[in-house]
Amino acid sequence: QIQLQQSGPGLVKPSQTLSLTCVVSGDSVSSDAAAWNWVRQSPSGGLEWLGRTYVRSKWYQDYAPSMKGRITISADVANHQISLELKSVTPNDTGVYYCARDNSGWFGWFDLWGQGTPIIVSS
């Protein structure tokens, strides 16, 4: 059974860096049919795509313009995990963060999601 298991700090202080991991079991993060995404959900419920990483001969990353300059998404193949780093967080970064797999073979829908990591940005 394929699973995405997330972990993270829960509480982050303003101006610090948020780091989250997503361990993939039952699938390979280096699959050339998959893309690994991060999506967050605000306290009011809105979903926002943050970015993704994927390998097609080499690793690529695509980021939402609203996140560029602050976000890094990377893959650790040996440890079967995907990571998100978000720098200089503010209270606006509070929400639930999800990793999600796109296994469409190109760039498409998200067929598998992690359980979510609630993050509060507060001093």
Partner 1 sequence: AVRITQSPSSLCASIGDRVSITCRASHSLGSYLAWYQQKSGEAPKLLIFGASTLHIGVPSRFNATKSGTDFTLTISFLQSEDIGTYYCHQYYNEPYTFGQGTKLEIK
Chain residues binding partner 1 by CB under 8 A are 45-49, 62, 64-66, 98, 102, 104, 107-116
Tokens of 10: 């829960």
Tokens of 98: 């999800």
Q: How far is the CB of 34 from partner 1 (least distance, A)?
A: 14
Q: How far is the CB of 86 from partner 1 (least distance, A)?
A: 15
Q: Are strands 18-25 and 47-56 parallel, antiparallel or unpaired?
A: unpaired
| 93 φ, ψ (degrees, to nearest 5) | -90, 0
CA–CA separation, 86 and 94 (whole Å): 12
Tokens of 96: 């639930």
Tokens of 102: 């796109």
Nearest CB to partner 1, comparing residues 45 and 69: 45
Nearest CB to partner 1, comparing residues 15 and 115: 115
Nearest CB to partner 1, comparing residues 77 and 120: 120
Q: How far is the CB of 45 from partner 1 (least distance, A)?
A: 5
Q: How far is the CB of 116 from partner 1 (least distance, A)?
A: 5
The structure tokens 């001093």 sit at 123
- Report which residue type is found at 96: V
Nearest CB to partner 1, comparing residues 15 and 66: 66
